[in-house]
Amino acid sequence: VKGAITGSVTVSTVTSAGGMQTVDISLVAVPADASQSILKNNQSSLKGDFTDSAELHLVLHDISGNPIKVSEGMEFVQSGTNVPYMKISAIDYSQNINGDYKATVTGDGEGIATLIPVLNGVHQAGLSTTIEFISAETRPMTGTVSVNGANLPTASFPSQGFTGAYYQLNNDNF
């Protein structure tokens, strides 16, 4: 029994004695082939502040070039040292008929993330891709600071020399 997609199928046959024999069969994806499959991303580096994102694009084919079609069980995971606060969206299965799967990556940490495709717990075709999360630029403060009742702009507010003063941030962007 072969199938074009994964899942379960029930096969029933009539026996020589005229009875019915039924069996449930689980169809599983064949292994992805490294020479027929690809994993890529559209950004090699992202700001680590959740403002940038990268798209992961995975194409899985078997050794004969046939697409591996699944509708669940696929995930992208970090391999090796984890980059903290990295988020990977749910998998987009809309093009699974072609063996194509997509997800979006964002993050709020720093470091190099190595991402691998995993199907039902199995790393697929030894594929991996890396994304470097870099430190986000320091944002300038906006708004005002009230010091003993006087409002001063945060951009030019001195950081020293006000011992014992009462400070209050107003309309800041933090």
% of the chain exceeding 70 in pLDDT: 81
Which has the higher per-residue pLDDT, 15 or 156? Answer: 15
137 Cβ contact list (under 8 Å, min separation 6): 47
Phi (first) and psi of residue 88, to 5 degrees = -120, 130
Q: How do the domains of the chain map onto residue ranges?
A: 38-134, 139-174
Confidence of residue 2 (pLDDT cuts 50, 70, 90): low
CATH 3.40.605.10 fits 38-134, yes or no: no
Q: Would you place residue 157 in the very low, low, confident or very high pLDDT band (cuts 50, 70, 90)?
A: low
Lookup: tokens for 91? 């998998």
Least reliable range by pLDDT among 5-9, 31-35, 41-45, 54-58: 5-9
Predicted local distance difference test score (pLDDT) of residue 161: 65
Question: 101-116 pLDDT, tens per residue?
Answer: 999 999 998 999 999 9
Query: What does 3-71 look like in DSSP terms, one character per residue?
Result: -SS-EEEEEEEE-TTS-EEEEEEEE-PPPP-TTT-EEEES-SEEETTTT--EEEEEE-B-TTS-B---S
What are the tens digits of pLDDT across the range 38-84? 999 999 999 998 999 999 999 999 999 999 999 999 999 999 889 99
pLDDT for the residue numbered 134: 93
Contact between 74 and 27 (Cβ < 8 Å) = no
CA-nearest of 3, 118, 127, 25 to 69 is: 3
pLDDT at 153: 76
Give CA separation, 83 vs 38, 114, 138, in Å: 23, 9, 20
68-82, 123-137, 145-159, range with the lowest pLDDT: 145-159
What is the C-alpha to C-alpha distance for residues 136 and 108, in angstroms, rounded to an integer?
Answer: 9
